[in-house]
Chain A
């Protein structure tokens, strides 16, 4: 009896580890395969007898991606610069605007407060995939009215990214502001500090880590964004961002898998780094309160 019980327990834990190993391989293998393809010579990629480990390591694909010309008039550096400019710009702008709104929502009781929060929750859910046509038409017209190019230009993409980031960032930062004890601000106010000083000197330093986490979250979203950038920038390859550039590796005749995987790796690395920084908050941010950890 005792032995049967023990055997079952051992079998159970063996099963558990086997399942864990299977899940691990399922999750990690595609990521590994990107890297393995990017690092092996072309001859090893286009073969009917692939090996799991590269027989030879080479950086030729990375070199080709970084110094090659994918589309005439562009370079890897122009894609990277565009991505960085539009992503960091929109994240910084959205962070500032969100911070103001979050303070309003967390610190003031005003009549439209609930309506505002509900609007954020709803807007956050409106699929950008459905809005894409009217966004394009809208920005095309707005650009004509203002006599500037909002389509085929990073500025349109920038504005859309800011708007898309706002709801989730406000809702996340709101919780961080609410977590700062009110007494601190009141004490400063009693000492004669005005609202602005309280905001920058007391609230800001305490909210900064939370704001940074929400911004990283926004950064990842914008860095990976494909549809808006692709639709808005289609006719101006000089403004392409990294994700848009990736699909140009799919040639009409052949596909250079080594280059694609190298470019894909370069796109992924910053996200992975940031992701590890904020992964704890990621869950609580997305499920907002359903997990009290």
Chain B
């Protein structure tokens, strides 16, 4: 409270170092301390992540391949990579597939996750704990193990899914499942990819929603009941508004995570050589490491496009974070 007695200008001057006692040296040291403390992190982040971002943009504007990697001068080629990418039909197919697959994953994850979160909240203690533990198992499975087990479940010859589909009556599921290959065609591979990813991500949403539901004060529900609101109206007028910030955050995180899917597709499609089933991250990898000769410039151009898209979503994420006071 004594602070209010100070004039704004002097308070402003002293911002940052509470103690103005001590000599100049102490004060300078105190002012420098935070910078010294963030310095190691800053150096590592600049060298390992910020600089490659610059490098990526630079390479996307140059002819950059194996010879340049080995030390040849890279030649500026303007926006040639971008024009050839943006007029390439293959890029647009992959782009469209990436968006569609990503949206399907996000929507299914959010829907299933929210419903299961509500279910967890409704179930009595023991059942909720048991189901929660089950969800945890799916969530904790390493991404690569998850992809591998789905590849096994849908295996052409001995996979459980094909065996079951083959055993079911033909009038129900059709025939020809005994040797059905799910992994060659985008139309069957992408659904499996979506299941694999949703399987691993809906637990996080469910448990977040449960935590969110539990954080809503009971008085609000009581008040709604007093006002004669039924369950449906209570849900829309109390629960949904209270959970809106959480949903915004979950939605953004899921979009960003699902946009980046690489490992699962790598395993399910058995590497990156099947050109029919690529998504953006796999396409970038193909251009950089699985084509002869590697085209780092073109790969970088696509990487820039992908980064811009992700950062656009991140801008929205930042707004949410700033509103929540995470930046203060």
* A208 interface hit (Cβ, 8 Å): no
Contact for A17 among B34, B127, B163, CB less than 8 A: B127
Q: Quick check: which of B79-87, B88-96, B136-144, B221-229 contacts chain A, the rest being far away?
A: B136-144
Q: Is the CB of A121 within 8 A of B321?
A: yes
Q: How many Å lie between the Cα of A153 and that of B91 in the bound state?
A: 33
- What B residues does A231 contact at CB under 8 A? 285, 289
- What B residues does A260 contact at CB under 8 A? 148, 152
Q: Is the CB of A116 within 8 A of B314?
A: no
Q: How many Å lie between the Cα of A108 and that of B130 in the bound state?
A: 44
* A135 interface hit (Cβ, 8 Å): yes
- What A residues does B138 contact at CB under 8 A? 27-28, 30-31
* A37 interface hit (Cβ, 8 Å): yes
Q: How many Å lie between the Cα of A17 and that of B122 in the bound state?
A: 10
CB distance from B160 to the nearest CB of A (A): 6
- What B residues does A4 contact at CB under 8 A? none
Known: A48-B158, A126-B310, A136-B288. A271 touches B59 (CB 8 A): no
* B270 interface hit (Cβ, 8 Å): yes
Q: Is the CB of A226 within 8 A of B310?
A: no
* B61 interface hit (Cβ, 8 Å): no
Q: Is the CB of A170 within 8 A of B135?
A: no
Q: How many Å lie between the Cα of A170 and that of B116 in the bound state?
A: 31
- What A residues does B267 contact at CB under 8 A? 247
Q: How many Å lie between the Cα of A234 and that of B285 in the bound state?
A: 13
Q: Is the CB of A293 within 8 A of B131?
A: no
CB distance from B276 to the nearest CB of A (A): 19
Q: Is the CB of B131 within 8 A of A289?
A: no
Q: How many residues of A are counted as interface, with CB atoms below 8 angstroms from the partner's CB atoms? A: 103
CB distance from B290 to the nearest CB of A (A): 10
Known: A100-B40, A134-B56. A226 touches B266 (CB 8 A): yes
Q: Is the CB of A27 within 8 A of B137?
A: yes
Q: How many Å lie between the Cα of A114 and that of B215 in the bound state?
A: 29
Q: Is the CB of B142 within 8 A of A276?
A: no
What residue in chain B is nearest A114 (Cβ atoms)? B327
* B168 interface hit (Cβ, 8 Å): no
Q: Is the CB of A30 within 8 A of B146?
A: yes
Tell me which residues from 106 to 145 in chain B have a Cβ below 8 Å from any Cβ of chain A: 116, 119, 122-123, 127, 130-131, 134-145
* A26 interface hit (Cβ, 8 Å): yes
Q: How many Å lie between the Cα of A123 and that of B314 in the bound state?
A: 10
Q: Quick check: which of B2-10, B186-194, B232-240, B300-308 contacts chain A, the rest being far away?
A: B300-308
* B230 interface hit (Cβ, 8 Å): no
Q: How many Å lie between the Cα of A124 and that of B9 in the bound state?
A: 37
Q: Quick check: which of A54-62, A69-77, A157-165 contacts chain B, the rest being far away?
A: A157-165
Does more than half of chain B's interface fall in helix, strand or loop, or is it mixed? helix
Q: Is the CB of B116 within 8 A of A23?
A: yes
Q: Is the CB of B144 within 8 A of A267?
A: yes
Tell me which residues from 215 to 263 in chain A have a Cβ below 8 Å from any Cβ of chain B: 220, 223-224, 226-227, 231, 234, 243, 246-247, 250, 255, 257, 260-261
Q: How many Å lie between the Cα of A284 and that of B249 in the bound state?
A: 12
Q: Is the CB of B199 within 8 A of A30?
A: yes
Q: How many Å lie between the Cα of A197 and that of B35 in the bound state?
A: 19
Instruction: Give 1 or 0 for each of B297-328: 1 = CB within 8 Å of chain A CB.
Output: 00110011011001101100110110011111
Q: How many Å lie between the Cα of A141 and that of B153 in the bound state?
A: 43
Q: Is the CB of A117 within 8 A of B123?
A: no
Known: A20-B127, A133-B300. A243 touches B142 (CB 8 A): yes
What residue in chain A is nearest B321 (Cβ atoms)? A121
CB distance from A21 to the nearest CB of B (A): 9
- What B residues does A291 contact at CB under 8 A? 208, 211-212, 215, 246
Q: Is the CB of A271 within 8 A of B142?
A: yes
Instruction: Give 1 or 0 for each of B26-63: 1 = CB within 8 Å of chain A CB.
Output: 00000101110110111011011111110110010000
Q: How many Å lie between the Cα of A104 and that of B30 in the bound state?
A: 11
* B69 interface hit (Cβ, 8 Å): yes
Contact for A279 among B136, B246, B310, CB less than 8 A: B136
CB distance from B156 to the nearest CB of A (A): 10
Q: Is the CB of B310 within 8 A of A127?
A: yes
Q: Is the CB of A97 within 8 A of B326?
A: no
* A1 interface hit (Cβ, 8 Å): no
CB distance from B24 to the nearest CB of A (A): 17
Q: Is the CB of A125 within 8 A of B284?
A: no
What residue in chain A is nearest B300 (Cβ atoms)? A133
- What B residues does A100 contact at CB under 8 A? 37-38, 40-41
- What B residues does A17 contact at CB under 8 A? 123, 127
* A67 interface hit (Cβ, 8 Å): no
* B256 interface hit (Cβ, 8 Å): yes
Contact for B199 among A27, A33, A37, A112, CB less than 8 A: A27
CB distance from B231 to the nearest CB of A (A): 11
- What A residues does B158 contact at CB under 8 A? 45-48, 50, 257
- What A residues does B49 contact at CB under 8 A? 123, 126, 131, 163-164
A-B contact pairs, 29 of them (CB 8 A): A28-B134, A31-B149, A33-B160, A46-B158, A98-B41, A108-B16, A108-B37, A121-B321, A125-B317, A127-B256, A127-B310, A129-B306, A130-B304, A131-B49, A133-B59, A133-B303, A134-B300, A170-B41, A226-B262, A264-B144, A264-B148, A264-B149, A268-B142, A275-B136, A282-B204, A286-B208, A287-B249, A287-B253, A291-B215
